[in-house]
Structure 1
Amino acid sequence: MVFGTARAVKSHRLGRRRKKGGSRLPVAPWIVITLVCVLVASGLTWGFMTLLRSGCSGSVYRVTVAAAPSIAAAVDDAAQEWEATQPEVEGECVGVEVQEVSAAAASRGILGVWDQKSLGPPPIAWVPDSQAWASWVGSSEATAGYVSSDPVVLGQATSVLAVPESTADALGWLGGQPPSWADVLDAALAGDVDLAAANPRTSTEGLVAMLNATSDGEGGFSEEALASYTAAIEAGSVADDASEQLAAYAESGEAGQVFTTLGYQVDNFNATSGMEEQLVPVTPSGSSVAAVATYLVLGGTSWVSESDASIAGRFGSFLAGAVADGSFSAIELTPAEDGAAALAQATPEAVGQAVRSWQEGRQDLNVLFLVDRSSRMGEETTDYGGESDVSVADAAIRMAVDMVEDMESTSRAGLWEFGVGADGDANWRAVTDQAEMSDGNREALRNDLWAVSENEEYEGTSPLYGALEAAYGYMGEHAADGSVNVVVVLTNNVEDTASPPTVGETAETLASMAGAATVYTVGFGDANADNLALLAEATGGAYVEAPSEGGVLEAIGAP
C-alpha cells in the first residue's frame, strides 16, 4: 500500500505522550501466562505464535488532524482510544496525529497556502469548532469539494452575549423574554451599551455572532442587518477574539459593555476572573446558528492522497460511534440532538454572502512592516503564542506572519528590515515590495519573513529613527487610494544612538511630511514606550504594546 507523502515538518502535537508502534496484547497478562502453559503442555506452540502475531506490527503510520484548540484534547483522547484497537491497513498500524490549529487559521490555509512552519503538517482531516468555517471554505465553486459532504457532528456551543449582571438587569434582559438582535443593536447605537464584538474573520464567536445578527429570519442573510451590526461595532469595539475583550474588561471593570461570546467562555470567565460581578449569558431571540463542532475529511487539496483520506475516514467512523454511544466528551460542547438540523444552520450560501459583505464593508490595508533586526532583538526574550522565553527577534517575525495571515486578499503588504549596516551605507533594507495578498504574494511575503528570521541580527544599537523616516517617506509615495496606509514598526528599541536625529527631531520630521500614511509602533520587552508613542502619534498613529497572542490588525482599524 502507498501512503501519503512523507512530511519533514515537526508536528505541533499535544502534550500527552502516545505509545508508538509495536504489537499490543489484547488480553490481560495472567491470561497469556496460563494460555502459554496450556499450549506448551499440549504441544500447540505453533498456535500460540500465531496468536502473538495477530493484528498489525511495526511503527504506526499517522495522518494529521487539525483541530480547534477548544476541542483538540477531546479529539486526541479519542485518537488514542482508536489506536488502542490496533487499526491496520495491509498489516501496517495506522492512526491519527492531532494538532491544535484555530478554525480561522485552518480555513485560510485550506483556501490558500498551508503554512507548515507555523501550523504544522497539512491536515488530512479538520475539526473546526463551528461548521460555519467549513461552509465558508465551501461557499465558492473552486473550493466546494475541499471538505467532506458527510461531516461528523461532535457537539455544539451556544452563541451568547456576555453581559454584566447589573447591566442586563437595568436593560430588562434578565428573565422573561430576551431581546432580539435588533433590540441589542438599537441599544448599542443609542449608546445604552457598548457592543464589544469579536472579529468574524479571526474567531468562531465573532463569526457565529455575525451570522445570527445578520440573519433575515429565514436562514438567509440581510444586508440591512449587517449595516446595523457594523455601525454598532464601530460605536463599540472589535478585537481578534472574545478573550482579548474579556481580559480588558477584567482589568477595567467598565460597566455597560456587551461581549459576543460562546456559552462556555462566559462560564470560564466567571470561574477564573475573580470579579465580584458575574457575567450572564444572554441569547437574543431569533438566534438560529450555534457553533457546531464537526469532523471533516479533506479532499481536492494538493496534499491529501486517497490512502490518507481513507485512514482519516476510518477514524471519523470511530468518532461517529463514540458520539452515538456517548463516550465522546468535550466539556465545551453540548450534544446536538439533531445533527442534520445543526448542520443546516449555517449553509455555504448564507455564510459566503455574509462574510463577503462584511469584507466589502471594511477598508483594505496597505502596510509596510518595518522589522528591527538589531542585536538587542535577539538578546531579550518574551512570551508569544503560548510559549515562554521566545526571543524578541523571533516573536516579531511570528507576529508579522500572523498579521499577514489575517489580511484579506485585497490588502497589500511589503517588508523592510533595519539594523546598522543592513544595506551597506544604509541602516535599512527593502526585502519585499508592496503587493496585493494573492495566494502567491502572501506565500512570498511569509517566506521572506521566515528567511529574515534565519539571518543573524545586525550588531550595534537599533537605528530606528533614520529607518522610520525613510520608510514613512516611501509609504507616502506608495499609498493606496481607499486603503488604510500604515507603517507597522516591530521593535524593542530603547534609544537610537545610530541615527543622526533625536527622537524629538524625528517626530517633528514625520509630522511635517505628507500624511498619506500612519505609523503604529509595536513595542516588545523593555522598549521605550514613551519614545515609540511620540513617533507614532506624530503621524496620527499610536503605540501598541506587543500582545502575547496574534497580531495587531484591529488596533490599526484594519479588516
Structure 2
Amino acid sequence: MAIVVVLVGSWLGYQQLADNDCSGQIRLNVAAATEIAPAVDRAAQQWSSNGAEVNGTCVAVTVTGVNPAAMASTIALKHGVTLTGLGAASKSGTIPDVWIADSTTWLMRLRSEASGFVPTDGKSIATSPVVVAMPEPVAQSVGWPDRKLGWGDLLKRMTTGNSLRTGIVNPTRDAAGLAGLLALGSSAGGGPQAKAQQVAALRALAAGSSSLRDDLMQKFPRSTDAADLASAVSAAPLSEEDVVAYNAEKPVVPLAALYLNPQPPSLDYPFAVMPEVDLTKSAAATGLREALQQPGFKDELAKVGLRAPDGTVGVGFASPIGAPKATPAATGAPTGTEGTAAAGLDAGSINQALGSWAAITLPGRALAVFDVSGSMKTKVPTAGNLSRAEVTRRAASQGLALFDDQWAVGTWIFSTEMDGKKPYKQIVPITPLTSGRSQLQASIGSIVPKDGGDTGLYDTALAAYKSVQDTWQAGRVNSVLLFTDGVNENKDGISRQTLINELKKTADPKRPVRMVIIGIGTGVDRNELEAITNATNAGGVFIAPDPAKISDIFLEAISSRSGAR
C-alpha cells in the first residue's frame, strides 16, 4: 500500500510539472504582516498551482505571518543599526526574500538609519485607512455617525477635561500608532501655545499606551455599564482592519471607526524585495506581485478586512458604518521604491514625531552643550532676524518642556577661555528633572554669545563625553547633545587627531554614550563633526542649514539611535 501511495503521488507530481511545463524549484520566502498573510498565502498557492515559473523552473512560495516590528528589528540588526523603541533583535532571525510590512514607514525608518538597506519594487498590494476607534456609545456622544470630526477636534478633547481616555499602540512599534501620532502633531499647528497643547496630547497618549496591539484591544469596554465605559479606553488610532476584526467577534460593545480629516497615512502594505535577493528570486518575486494584482486578490483581501491599493473593496468586505467607498488617493509622489504611504512624508517628519515620543516615554540622561562663540550673534532672517543664540534658546526651552520627568539633564556652554583656559563652563550638572526642571529652564538664559569668543569645539567635545561616561547609568540612553555653528578655532586646544584618538580610547561598549552634534547654519564642517561622532561609534551629526529649523532637527536627533544624517 505504501509503495502504491508513493508511486501515485510521484505520478501526480510529475503530471503537474509536465502540465506546468516547468521543472526544478525556486523557493521564495515571503514574510507578511500577520493580518494580510492568509490572503497572500492563498493567492501564492493558487499562483504556484497554476504553473508559476521562471525560465522553465517552478516556483514554490512559503508565506509566514510576522509582526512588522519584529522583522524591522531583525533587518536593522543585519545592517548593524537599531530603531528607536525596538530594542535588540534575536541573532537567529532570518531575512526573507520578500517582506510585506503593513506600512511603507517601516522601510523609510530603516533607510534613514541604514544606508545599505535599499529594497526594490515596493508597490502597494493592499491598504487600510487609519481611523480613530471608539466604543459606539462614546462615538455617539461626540456626534457619530452624523458629525464629521477632525484631528483638531480630537486634540482639543484630549487636552481639555477628562471626557476621553485615549490609548495608542507604541508608535515606535506600530505603524497605525505612528500615523495617528503624525496626524495629531500636524493638527496642533505652530507657536508656543500649540506646542504646549501638542505636548499635553502626547503625554495623554503615553499614559494609555500599549506595547502590543492585542493589549490595547483588551482595554476597550466589555460591557455597557457606565463605570466600565468611563474607565476603559475610549479613543485610539488603529487601522480600519483592526476595527473590522474586532467587530467580527461580536463584542457586547462594538467599535466605531471615525475617519477624521485630514486623512493620516494609510497602511499600504508595500511589496518589498530585499536587497540580498538574486536575479532569479527577484524575477519570481515580480511574478508573485503580479499575481497579487489580479482582480481575484481583492476578494481575498476582503476576507481579512483589507482594501485593494486603490481603496476599493472586494466581495464580503465588512464595511464599518461611515466608511468611504474608496479611500482618497494620497497626495504627492512616492519615492520610487516605496508604497503610497511615502507620499507627503519623509524620514525627517517621521523621526521628529518619534523624537517627541521618545523624549516623553524613554528614560534618558543628556548633557546639553551650547556654543556661545561670537558667531552665535548672527541674525536668522527666517526667524524674524532673531540671533542664532536666541533661536537656540527657544529650541532648548521647547525641548526641555518636552522631556518627561524620567529624564536627567545638564547644561554647559562653550567658546574659548570660559573657565580660565578651559573653553567650556558647566552651568547645571546632570540633574533629575523631577527636582531640577526650574533650575535647568533658568540655565537656558546663559546661552549668550561671548564677544570675540572663538569655538573651542575639540576640548569641549572630549570633556563632555568623558563627563557623561563618568556618571553613566544603566537602563537609560546616555547622551551628549552638542550645538555649534562653527568649526574648531582654539589655538590653545587639542588637535583633531588627538581628540579622535582620545575618544576611541575612551569609548566603552559596556558604557555607551551617544555623541550627537547639531550643526547650526552653513558655517559648520560636516566632515569635522562626523569625524568626532564616528570615533565614538554611537550618535550622529544633524545639520540645520536654516537655524530656524533647529527644533525639528533636535527632535530628529532624539529619535535617531544610530548613524549620521
TM-score normalised by length of structure 1: 0.50
